[in-house]
Homo-oligomer: A and B are copies of this chain.
């Protein structure tokens, strides 16, 4: 079979790889219907994170179960499934607390930008749709494997609810998903921080009530101007750079919360935040905890997170998918084998 392998910064290749097989009795093998490129994949593509050797890449997918190990009971060959970017057993003490990203038996995929994928911990990772979903729902189902759950995680981690004002730092696919999450969680004011017209338009389509184009200190001041002069109750930081984190610090009100989902590439002034009583929480998303609810919202066409995909390519053109996202020609690229 074929899949994406990153060889070096800027060098992603579509090449032949070993067929995935059942190794543990808790495994499944899935034939990919759709996969995609994540903003976090770009850290290696851009040389910010190391690429010590050629490595299969990708962690988002939906597809059809082909084969299951002897211990798998919740999915069967032929099921249409989606799985989170971080496999979990859904039974350990940490999962029972809802913190699936930190599962005691967590694992990873050996490259999900591929035509077939070995899924460890299949019972605790995969969720099957009831019957075969309409094809136009595939992008939104695929979005649940990471980006929508990650935006949701930012909102949940920051305590977003019907009584909270929200500002979202980052207008990439995660930031846009965070807007959608905040609206869905009932926030009456959702401020998208974006200076790209197309992304701002999608943020508004997702329910953002305001768009702020300013960044950094001016961005914080603009958010304060909209929030009684004090800043947003909840700020969702969906980038991870030092600048984005400080922008979040500048936009949150005293006593508020920052939800963090951008992979950290900078520090946080925790002791300043102490005096301001600002909370900080976040990390990799607890996808399996959120999947059942969000899949229901997608299948009932209540939310359409698949709109973050603004380019679709054959999996064979995965190199172009990376280039398009790196050069910001696309928000997020969907790949079909």
Q: Which residues of B contact A228 (CB under 8 A)?
A: 93
| B270:A277 contact, CB within 8 angstroms | no
A9 CB within 8 Å of chain B: no
A161 CB within 8 Å of chain B: no
Q: Which residues of B contact A229 (CB under 8 A)?
A: 93
Contact of A277 among B257, B279, B286 (CB under 8 A): B286
Q: Which of A250-278 contact B (CB under 8 A)?
A: 253-257, 260, 264, 267-268, 270-271, 273-278
> How many residues on the A side are at the interface (Cβ–Cβ under 8 A)?
37
| B102:A254 contact, CB within 8 angstroms | yes
A280 CB within 8 Å of chain B: yes
| A254:B94 contact, CB within 8 angstroms | yes
CB-nearest residue of chain B relative to A279? B281
Secondary structure of the A side of the interface?
mixed
Given contacts A254-B102, A255-B286, contact A233 B97 (CB under 8 A): yes
| B286:A274 contact, CB within 8 angstroms | no
Q: Which residues of B contact A274 (CB under 8 A)?
A: 260, 264, 282-283
Q: Which residues of B contact A230 (CB under 8 A)?
A: 93-94, 97, 104
A98 CB within 8 Å of chain B: yes
Q: Which residues of B contact A275 (CB under 8 A)?
A: 283-284
| B283:A280 contact, CB within 8 angstroms | no
| B157:A279 contact, CB within 8 angstroms | yes
Q: How far is the CB of A251 from chain B (nearest CB, A)?
A: 15
Interface centre among A255, A270, A271 (most CB of B within 10 A): A255
- Show 10 residue pairs from A and B whose CB-CB distance is below 8 angstroms, ordered by the A residue: A93-B229, A97-B233, A97-B255, A98-B255, A99-B253, A99-B254, A102-B276, A104-B230, A278-B281, A280-B281
Top 10 closest A-B pairs, CB basis?
A: A99-B255, A279-B281, A102-B254, A277-B283, A93-B228, A264-B271, A274-B283, A268-B270, A93-B230, A280-B280
